[in-house]
Amino acid sequence: MKILFCGDLVGRSGRDVVLENLPALRTEMALDFVVVNAENAAHGFGLTREICEELFEAGADAITTGNHVWDQREIIPFIDGDPRVLRPINYVRGTPGRGASVIKARDGRSVLVVNVMCRLFMELLDDPFAAVDEVLNSHVLGKSVDAVLIDVHGEATSEKVALGHVCDGRASLVVGTHTHIPTADAQVLPGGTAYQSDAGMCGDYDSVIGMRKETAIAKFRTKVVTERLAPARGPGSLCAVYVETDDASGLAARVAPVVLGGRLQPAWPIFLPPRGPAAA
């Protein structure tokens, strides 16, 4: 399978760069499955039903979230009814929605998508390691599902790396979100799981992790909040991770970062054809 995971989508800049590029990317990369983390899509805080529907229309197959999932209260009934929109699996029992879902790719193959949140410097949710173990024990890669994608939403790279090794050999891709900065450690782990500590964000990098830099800097310097943080509105970069899996085992054959548009240096998998002029 050919899979694309797009990192945290922040505000209008993030929405625009994903909506403008994703339809072409599905064709250029011959993508079988696309996941987008959209927890910062609605003005930087949370997501809405309308945004979810726009992303699905553009080519997303699943949407993951994180600690901002409940910032827009209108998402609660929608997330409870649509299995393609996930919240972290290690919220306490009784929380609306689901943290793992088996979703059909367009060719009919089954993909398990898992959303889990770390605990270091984050909310003290249930044990993420136990939660991931439980779902992976119930859905075996290469047997009951064709691919397994795990979004590890967390602050500490050490916790993300540890979860990656725990999942090695049992998942197609383990990828971090939340810090909004793409890391340079894309690799296939010894057991065959693709891993990157953070996919980065889809948004304006002339900012402080997607937010207007003037407001964020003032908050750091004075601790006096004079205005609400708001997303930067400049041209966005699309940051993602591309994975190809072995059809028999579901494990990763290769992985590479993807960066398009905005201020960051472009990145494109060297083993794919160059981008066509229509999508430049």
**Residue-level pLDDT at 278:** 44
In angstroms, the CA 31 to CA 181 distance is 24
Identity of the residue numbered 131: A
Residues with a catalytic annotation lie at 68
CATH topology for the 2-204+235-279 domain: Purple Acid Phosphatase; chain A, domain 2 (3.60.21)
pLDDT (0 to 100) of residue 277: 55
The H or E element containing residue 174 is: strand 173-177
Mean pLDDT by 10 residues, the chain (280 residues): 98 98 97 98 96 98 97 94 97 96 97 98 95 97 98 98 98 98 98 98 97 92 83 97 98 98 96 71
pTM of the model: 0.96
> What element of type H or E holds 214?
helix 213-222
CB neighbours (10 Å) of residue 135? 17
- Note the pLDDT of residue 251: 98
Q: What is the pLDDT of residue 225?
A: 72
Instruction: Give the model's pLDDT for residue 227.
Output: 84
Q: Strand runs (DSSP E) across 38-172, as ranges?
A: 62-64, 100-104, 110-117, 147-153
User: Quick check: 2 and 31 in contact, CB under 8 A?
Assistant: yes
Tokens, residue 259: 């960066």
b or e along 203-238 (b: 16 or more beta carbons within 10 Å of the residue's beta carbon)?
Answer: bbbebbbbbbeebbeebeeeeeeeeebebbeeebbb
**Nearest 5°: CA angle at 259, between 253 and 264?**
145
Residue 201 pairs in a beta bridge with 8
Q: What number of CA atoms fall less than 13 Å from residue 62's CA on the CB side?
A: 32
Task: Note whether 119 and 162 are within 8 A (CB).
Answer: no
In order of 14, 87, 89, the CA distances from 93 in angstroms are: 32, 12, 9
